[in-house]
Amino acid sequence: MKTTSFMGNLLSALKNARRWRQNQLTKFHSKTLHAGKPPESNDFYSAFSIHTRLLKSSLLTHTTATNHLINRYAKLQEIEHARRLFDELPEPNVVSWTSLMAGYIGVGRPEVALWLYGRMRRSAVLPNEFALTTVANACSVLADLRVGRGIHAHVEVFGLRGNVVVCSSLVDMYGKCNEVDEARRVFDSMSNKNIVSWTSMITAYAQSGKGKEALHLFWEFDYSRFGFPNHFMLASVVNACSSSGSLVSGRIAHGAVIRYGYDTNDVIASALMDMYAKCGYFNYCEKVFRRIENPSVVPYTSMIVGAAKYGLGMLSLELLEEMIDRGVKPNDVTFLGIPHACSHSGLVDDDLAILESMDKKYGIIPDARHYTCVVDMLGRIGRLDKAYELAKSIQVRPEEGALLWGTLLSASRLHGQVEIATEASNWLIKSNQQLSGFAEFSA
């Protein structure tokens, strides 16, 4: 009797779940079909119109037509729309799966892309080069070496080891996972290489702190005339010079940048400024910066951070004012360089005023990183009471607050402020216990 009752309840629950899902889908399509005013964006309007036509023509179960719409919504980052259309397909093919996986990567959810790939592998659909490239990109974003190696094995199994696009994505994945030797093995195994392959390998070396290897590979590319470098490759080469601290190599790289006409590119100019600052030639930073006709927030921020490293507080503040006057909106990174510059220039009150006005004046809510910089600045000059007041004024998660309160602890010990040091120690102990408890709960 109990078994019969249980089965009846289970069937009823399943029936209700199906009814709820059907209602949700009906609402979704009704909203599309009867919406009085389509969305503002022309691209979204185009997708909206296609969706309406497919719905009226009863073609939403047609895989090829719906794939086109899923791809449209995914590129527009309307991932929920794309997901609902995908879920309705009776037989999604590899294009359906790949479009949805790419969409989730595009909205910053690569872990969902990996989960979808696992689901696809359990279905009758086999991955192609585009699916494997997409899922390798998800592993790159997550720096997930374990899954990445599994994807590499699938590349071998499905006979795609000679595919230049797939192998380039594997080089990038291993590079992002800091497995540069594995990346080089894949790179060397490629019989055909393109600009992406070379750039991925050079970037892998640069990001792993192997600047000399990155430069040697670039010279090999350049002298062998495999093609013309793009701005991604040149930015990686300049970053490699930064990591090696070689001014001679940096100036040669700068010459290549000028030769190929990228000297006013925002990204490359910012990399050059960072390189010259690290090599101790800040005057070259200014020369590079002033060559940019309309600098964006990226080179402005690089210049502010560079000035901060040399203790040029007034210049940092002048640059901040200049960028605002030119209509360039600062970002959260811009404000990380200001405290360092101000602390070395006796401009503490100016920096405190900027911190307090970040939200109202610039529309940026300061986070734990900004407060940590200011607490460090105050600690350097012995204003521990103000530093302690700031630390207490914000609510942060344990993992975010560790550096903030650790900075305060170091400063209070240095200046003999026992009470503040004790308070900071207690906060750190308590937060560490919370993190340990969370880890045990999650295990």
Q: How confident is the model at residue 1 (pLDDT cuts 50, 70, 90)?
A: very low
Q: What is the pLDDT of residue 255?
A: 92
Backbone angles phi, psi at 346, to 5 degrees: 70, 25
Q: Please state, for a pLDDT cut of 70, what percent of the chain lies above it.
A: 83
Confirm whether 373 is domain-assigned: yes
Say if residue 359's pLDDT is above 90: no
Window from 119-123, 270-274, 351-355 with minimum mean pLDDT: 351-355
What would the pLDDT profile of 395-429 be if each residue is shown by its tens digit?
Answer: 877 777 888 999 999 999 998 989 999 989 988 88
Confirm whether 412 is domain-assigned: yes
Confirm whether 437 is domain-assigned: yes
Confirm whether 253 is domain-assigned: no
What would the pLDDT profile of 299-346 be if each residue is shown by its tens digit?
Answer: 999 898 888 888 888 898 899 999 999 999 998 888 888 877 777 677
Confirm whether 57 is domain-assigned: no
Name residue, tokens 């960028």: 323
Say if residue 234's pLDDT is above 90: yes
Say if residue 45's pLDDT is above 80: no
Mean pLDDT of 334-360: 82
Mean pLDDT of 122-136: 96
Confirm whether 163 is domain-assigned: no
Say if residue 288's pLDDT is above 60: yes
Q: What is the pLDDT of residue 48?
A: 57
* Distance from C-alpha of 303 to C-alpha of 318, rounded to nearest angstrom: 11
Say if residue 435's pLDDT is above 50: no
Mean pLDDT of 59-74: 78
Say if residue 232's pLDDT is above 50: yes
Q: What is the pLDDT of residue 195?
A: 92
Confirm whether 258 is domain-assigned: no
Say if residue 437's pLDDT is above 70: no
DSSP 37: S
Confirm whether 389 is domain-assigned: yes
Instruction: Name the residue range of residue 418's domain.
Output: 368-443
Structural domains counted in the chain: 1
Mean pLDDT of 136-146: 96
Q: What is the pLDDT of residue 55?
A: 58
Say if residue 51's pLDDT is above 90: no
Q: What is the pLDDT of residue 328?
A: 93
- HEC sequence for 382-426: CCHHHHHHHHHHCCCCHHHHHHHHHHHHHHHHHCCCHHHHHHHHH
CB 190 within 8 A of CB 165: no
Say if residue 434's pLDDT is above 90: no
Closest CA to 181 of 171, 190, 192, 191: 171
Q: Which two structure tokens, joined as six digits, stand for 379? A: 């600690």
